[in-house]
Amino acid sequence: MIVGDALRLAAARLLRAGVESPRIAAEWTLAARLGIDRLELPMRHREALAFPCAQAWEADLEHLAAGEPIQYVMGSAVFFGREFRVDSRALIPRPETEELACRVLACGELWARPKPGVCDVGTGSGCLAITLALERPGAVLQGSDLSGAALALASENARRLGAESRVRWICADLLDWVEDASLDAVVSNPPYVESGALAMLDRQVRDFEPGMALDGGPDGLRVIRRLIPQAFRTLLPGGRLWLEIGETQAGAVSALAQSAGFRDIAVATDIAGRDRILSARIAG
Ligand SMILES: C[S@@+](CC[C@H](N)C(=O)[O-])C[C@H]1O[C@@H](n2cnc3c(N)ncnc32)[C@H](O)[C@@H]1O
């Protein structure tokens, strides 16, 4: 079969399976199997699709039709312009988290400190810790996660992206392992989905991404409620906290930050205008 016909049939099959943007999904996966850029595909439409490639692509199409996210099928996702390996060990990095990274990077006061120590709690693929390490060479980064499997992926990403010597990976519960008043910043995209809402998520998320990365307990705040006082304990005077939160959680999380002792509590919106990023500071 020629490439053009194969693509047409694949897109129709993915459409029937309920895959979003089926033609693009078919093109991305085939281009990856052919080892070419997707934009080069039209030039190959009349070429025959060779067997080994067709067989490997067929497996990709089966995974896509079963609802698996394209990033897991292709094994990669772009975060802050860099390609990260992703698989079922960790959450697929999201654009909201890129916005969190932008806000942290824009904090001149933090980066003016000598060798600022930053911990990314619940690092998953390592996207935040590695991005901050590569964008701010003077910083000292730690990435922690309760999942050893996620940390293995994060450390693989650090190696591939040249940040191996820049981030220390710790398998631990939140900030239990951190000394009092020792960090300049804590950043985190913690699990914050209400347990009861998990079943209502898109099947791509619900059935394929790790539950531990999403489940925030009955009110979505189970992890955040523990993390905020721990961040307060482990931050130095003038230290900062940034948290990605659910769009309905701004009031509750701000109240938690206030009662822990944080000041300058602010909530920023994402490009869709939803409250998604809380920042706070310790006096000093
Ligand atoms: C929403 S994911 C974020 C992953 C990554 N930082 C990102 O933004 O793509 C939350 C992460 O927190 C981790 N996690 C959940 N509970 C934790 C805990 N008690 N201590 C440390 N990490 C935890 C999960 O394993 C998961 O990797």
Whether 47 shows a pLDDT value over 90: the answer reads: yes
Q: Which domain holds residue 45?
A: 3-67
> CB under 6 Å to ligand 1: residues?
90-91, 93, 97, 121-125, 127-128, 144-147, 150, 173-174, 189-191, 212-213, 223
Final residue of a structural domain among 18, 45, 67: 67
In angstroms, the CA 239 to CA 184 distance is 5
Is 73 within a domain? no
How confident is the prediction for the chain on average, in pLDDT?
97
In angstroms, the CA 184 to CA 219 distance is 29
Shared-domain flag, residues 120 and 253: yes
Shared-domain flag, residues 96 and 164: yes
Is 131 within a domain? yes
* 170-187 pLDDT, tens digit each: 999 999 999 999 999 999
Average pLDDT over residues 214-240: 98
| The pLDDT of residue 273 | 92
Percent of the chain clearing pLDDT 70 (strictly above): 100
Structural domain count of the chain: 2
* 104-119 pLDDT, tens digit each: 999 999 999 999 999 9
| The pLDDT of residue 254 | 98
* 1-46 pLDDT, tens digit each: 999 999 999 999 999 999 999 999 999 999 999 999 999 999 999 9
| The pLDDT of residue 271 | 86
91 CA → ligand 1 middle, Å: 8
Shared-domain flag, residues 113 and 33: no
Is 74 within a domain? no
* 54-79 pLDDT, tens digit each: 999 999 999 999 999 999 999 999 99
Token pair 């993915």 is found at 14
Task: Give the CATH number, domain containing residue 265.
Answer: 3.40.50.150
Residue nearest to ligand 1 atom 4, measured at CA: 124
Is 72 within a domain? no
Is 40 within a domain? yes
Count of CB atoms situated within 10 Å of the CB of 208:
19
CA-to-CA separations, 111 to 116, 117, 183, 213, 238, in angstroms, rounded: 6, 10, 13, 28, 12
Decide if 150 contacts 206 (C-beta within 8 A).
no
* 131-160 pLDDT, tens digit each: 999 999 999 999 999 999 999 999 999 999
Gyration radius (Cα) of the chain, Å: 21
Shared-domain flag, residues 269 and 207: yes
| The pLDDT of residue 51 | 87
CA-to-CA separations, 144 to 130, 140, 187, 226, in angstroms, rounded: 12, 13, 11, 15
